[in-house]
Amino acid sequence: MSPEPDLADLLDARLDGHADDADVPESFRIDLARALAAHEAIRDALEETILLPGGEPASDREPPRLPDDYEVVRELGHGGMGVVYLARQRSLGRQVAVKVLRPGEMAFGPMLRRFEEEARHLARLRHPNIVAIHEVGRSGGEPYFTMDYIEGQSLSARLAAGVLTPSQALAILRPAAEAVRHAHERGIIHRDLKPSNILLDGGGRAFVTDFGLARDMAGSSGVTRSGEVMGTPAYMAPEQALGQADRIGEATDVHALGAILYEMLAGRPPYGHDAPARVLARLLDAQPEAPRRIDRRIPRDLETICLKMLEKEPARRYATVGALLEDLRRFDEGRPPLARRPGPALRAGRWLRRHGTAIAAVLLVAAAAAGLAWSLLPRRTEVQVQVEDRTADSLIAEANARHAAGDHALAARLFTAAARQAPADRRPAILRDVVRCVGELSDRAAALQIAADAIELAPDLSFGAYDPLLASVADDRTRAVTPVHRSGRTPGEPEMVAELRAEDRPVVELAQTRLELVAKGNFSDDVRRDAEDRLVRIRRMLRNEPSPGTWRTIPAQIDFPKGTADELHRRSLDSSVPRWDRARAAYAEGRTRAEAGDRPGALEAYRRAFELIRCGSPTYPEPAPASAPRFDPPEARFLLDIEAAIRALDPAAPSRLKGGLRFRLTGLELPPGVSVFFSPSLVDPALDPKLAGNGGGFLPNVHIGRERTAWLGVADGHYRLSVPAPGKSYGHDGRADEATERSYHLLDVDYSDLPAEVEIRGETVDLPPLRARLLEEIKLLAPADRAAFDPNEGIFRWSPVPRASRYQFALGAITVSEGGSTTKRGLGGYDTASTSLCLGTAPEQNQVLATLSRELKPGTIGEWTVQAFDASGRKLATVAGPPRNFVVARSLERGRD
């Protein structure tokens, strides 16, 4: 009896003309009809955009008739959704990509609406890894929109050169997934994610593009009908292939990301490159081959994540991209993913569903019985071994015995304990046994934990392939280190110093040692470069230098790069270089060209520098009279300097530095000596907010004192406005009374009436007022000030606040140096609806308790405070004074790692 054919066999026969409907079993007819219809629709209408090598045009078509501000350079690609051109935007001196729907494409009817949908979707998305749209319009009857030009290559072109390593694949997948999550949060499903729609710039940074098939989950546009198959077969999800529009959602894009990850790791899509019908047949009827069968070097946990992304049923995939990113984070940390590999019953069920024979049913019953028998077998548990009060020799003897018995994990732990007990001269030999045992472990998470314990004893101990991950873990620990910022005390010191505390220095030094080990090791170029990049921050911390964007060392003047005009020009256009450095390069290019007599080239370079700064740091200082000169840092004056250079070459050029913002404070009168201060973030909507001041750009400080108003110069443009982390300062002269000090602590300023966006066009914009008010007072009831306190059993208590929905409890610690100076550091916050809290019985929250268990040691001086909020998140009350102190009597035992 010949075996029943599968869907792929039937499709091959139909496409080759060797079968008709009579040859198709009833169980396959619906899926076969759908696959054939999809084959025709996709083949005819949705070919991929073709990226052209060497800038050669794809056809004899004439360039589009764009507005005069744009000069077409060359055609970049064409496909089912129009033609993409590289163009130069004269007014801003930048290159942009222009997508044009040509008259020939308009004949498709719905294609015009899809083109307009793409422009509308892109205009709503502002993310550093999404190709941003700038302008939408029509010219000569042809719709077009302009967007960022990413100078580099598509992921499909990169994959043509060969498979990627897991680290390279994840370096592309993570930012692409973050971009897709951003779109999902705004109700947009991409529906056509594939390697050709992920662009890589010169630095390898990934950008998602081509939202031509995106679906707005907030409402149907009518562009896509139920039953219509849209997408690219090799990367679409089963619900797309079946035309089930009502089932398309976030999990659909997760499936596409899984197909992209699969191809990056395995060198081909999960269902191959073939005729659309054949690919769809495998998508509907077959499971993808496990990536590790193609390449055994692919980590098992990463394979598990990839296969979960490719599940047939949306409910079995990651429900959101956020859930996927969480598992990728766990993979990076060496922890097992939350995804689980399919068990025997599920694999057998898939086989049964596909083959549907009596033999398969028998095998399924047998597999279930075997699973039941296996579940009844006793589980082997790790033997707990006492290591305290034992000599190094006895620990080594037991470690050797455990190793001989095949328990390499326990042997490694015993060797590590022995190394702690042994004299320094014996320790290297014992640690070599630890390295040997770790190399024999198949449990990656256990191996990483043992290695992390061992490097505390020997920071430069190498564990081979685990070294990059150990370095990453060590570097992550430094993120919790908060240097103490102080003014420079000696000549030649920076104006502000970020001083490491003595107890934090070993943590940072360990990270430096591990990263240097990787940077000099036998690893890929990407891994070594990543280690070098991390070392920049670590070495800055060890030199007590503040990080860019927090406290900035103010030089006597701006340091401009050197080079030829062409070299500086290329650097100013390099998107992998920080925006501030690109602006300095453009300004230096302008000076070089001006000195050479190239006036047009110099003007273009200066305007490019101005725009690079304006997008993320558009503020400039208020002009001051000669009798009262100001001493603003050079960064604050940079826009003024650039404009002066432009006006020197073109006196008729209009000034873009005439307008600004006026802030006003209403409500409560500020107590004497008290001022409100904040650093407003003003960012062009085309730029991600996190890139404000990128790479050292100046962030302004606005101070409002008793005059209740402040002016801030802002270059002409459109900006997103926000006020992150506002504060207040108290500059009294020591004679302030208790009521004034109490008012300072209870003072709160409401910034919520400020607009989310502002437009500056040569005039001062008066903003809605900031509202000052006094909060209600919370009284801290227990523990008493400076009392001994046991965090395991003691209870923090405070007075209730009417209308409070939640209280935010915050803990800190005070360290007193040998010289008598004190430093404070925050240890974390905790939300509760109660007016009391016992850390020993509190549930885990954001790993706060794990941090406290390390920090709250006996003798530590802790400090605590509380704030109250209503149901809408509005602050109602706070403590009218400094935090309350207590002395830790016993280490917190909860939350221990």
Indicate the annotated binding residues for ATP: 99
Annotated binding site: 99
Closest CA to 69 of 96, 38, 30: 96
Q: What type of residue is 866?
A: V
**DSSP secondary structure of 558-611:** -----S-HHHHHHHHH-TTS-HHHHHHHHHHHHHHHHHTT-HHHHHHHHHHHHH
Closest CA to 180 of 146, 217, 209, 216: 209
Q: Are 721 and 765 in contact (CB under 8 A)?
A: no
Q: Are 334 and 299 in contact (CB under 8 A)?
A: no
Q: Are 154 and 51 in contact (CB under 8 A)?
A: yes
What is the Cα–Cα distance from 500 to 503, expressed in whole angstroms? 8
Residue 17 phi, psi (nearest 5): 80, 20
What is the Cα–Cα distance from 461 to 446, expressed in whole angstroms? 17
Count, in order, helices (H) and strands (E) of the chain. 27, 35
Question: Between β-strands 764-766 and 660-667, what pairing exists: parallel, antiparallel or unpaired?
Answer: parallel
What is the Cα–Cα distance from 125 to 626, expressed in whole angstroms? 46
Q: Which residues contact 499 (CB under 8 A, 6 or more apart)?
A: 483, 484, 485, 486, 544
Q: Are 310 and 255 in contact (CB under 8 A)?
A: yes
Q: Are 573 and 95 in contact (CB under 8 A)?
A: yes
Neighbouring C-beta atoms of residue 789, cutoff 10 Å: 22
Burial code of 513-539, b = ≥16 C-beta within 10 A, e = fewer? Answer: bbbbbbbeeebeeebbebbeebbebbe
* Residue 133 CA: distances (Å) to CA of 97, 147, 350, 491, 687: 9, 4, 44, 49, 11
Q: Which residues contact 251 (CB under 8 A, 6 or more apart)?
A: 237, 314, 315, 317, 318, 319
Which long-range CB contacts under 8 A does 87-91 form with residues at least 24 apart? 87/146, 89/146
Residue 846 phi, psi (nearest 5): 55, 35
Q: Are 833 and 807 in contact (CB under 8 A)?
A: yes
At residue 110's C-alpha, the angle toward residues 104 and 115, to 5°, is: 75
Q: Are 11 and 32 in contact (CB under 8 A)?
A: yes
